[in-house]
Amino acid sequence: MSTNDVLEIRLVLNNLIVNSALVSSQLRTLTNLVLGVCKDKLPVDQYENVYTNYVNTLEQMTTEELNGIEGALWGSPAFLSRQRFEALSASQILKEDTAYVSSL
């Protein structure tokens, strides 16, 4: 592999990292906006139901997406296992919110 190949791979990876950060910030903004409007406009029990459905759907879709890319990743399966653990840990934090707990 030539130096130019390595530089090109680094550039592609840098672009991927930056684009992932941008998409992540946009998603968080939209999530906060939608959940914020729901919280302000809906009765508490309906908001709690929306929040619980959001958290459960997010967890399910995250698991499905990570399962779908399993064969496309290079290297050790431990990498995906770590990412899956971090995603599920983030989901557990959402489940500790009173809106989630109250709807159960």
Q: Give me the tens of pLDDT residue by residue for the chain, a chain 104 residues long.
A: 899 999 999 999 999 999 999 999 999 999 999 999 999 999 999 999 999 999 999 999 999 999 988 888 887 788 889 999 999 999 999 999 999 988 87
The whole-angstrom separation of Cα 91 and Cα 84 is 11
Taking the whole predicted model, whether its pTM rises above 0.75 is answered as: yes
First to last CA, the chain: 56
Please report, for residues 32, 63, 86, 96, 103, the alpha-carbon distance to residue 83 in angstroms, rounded to integers and kept in the order given.
23, 10, 5, 20, 28
